Amino acid sequence: MNDAEAAFAERLAEDLDRVFGAGFAVDDIELSTENGAARVRATFLIEGRVETVVLDAPDVLSLYRPLMERAAELQLKGAFWRMVGPS
């Protein structure tokens, strides 16, 4: 991972923590690139559960939105679980 990719991963973790707040924590983000394509493996702690997301994209910047969307889905799932129990 080069310096730009490391800075992107750090910023992504900060944004996720800031946007999703309490009950949500970024445990780890691994970013890799190969032949121009990018992959992220993010591990989150949500409502006491560990959730891992793996996404692929044509480049690093293209990972941002899908990862934020997936994190939002997981947070909503956690909120639902708090309200009504396991789905």
Task: Give the CATH superfamily of 3-81.
Answer: Ribosome hibernation promotion factor-like (3.30.160.100)
Q: Which pLDDT value is given to residue 81?
A: 73
For residue 86, what pLDDT is reported? 61
> What does residue 36 show for φ and ψ, rounded to 5 degrees?
90, -20
Domain boundaries, the chain: 3-81
Residue 43: predicted pLDDT = 93
The 3-state DSSP composition of the chain as helix, strand, coil percent (nearest 5) reads 50, 35, 15
* Secondary structure class of 36 (helix, strand, coil): coil
pLDDT by residue for the chain (87 residues), tens only, comes to 678 778 888 888 888 888 877 778 888 889 888 888 999 999 998 877 899 999 999 998 899 999 999 988 888 887 777 788 765
Cα 32 to Cα 6: distance, rounded to the nearest angstrom: 10
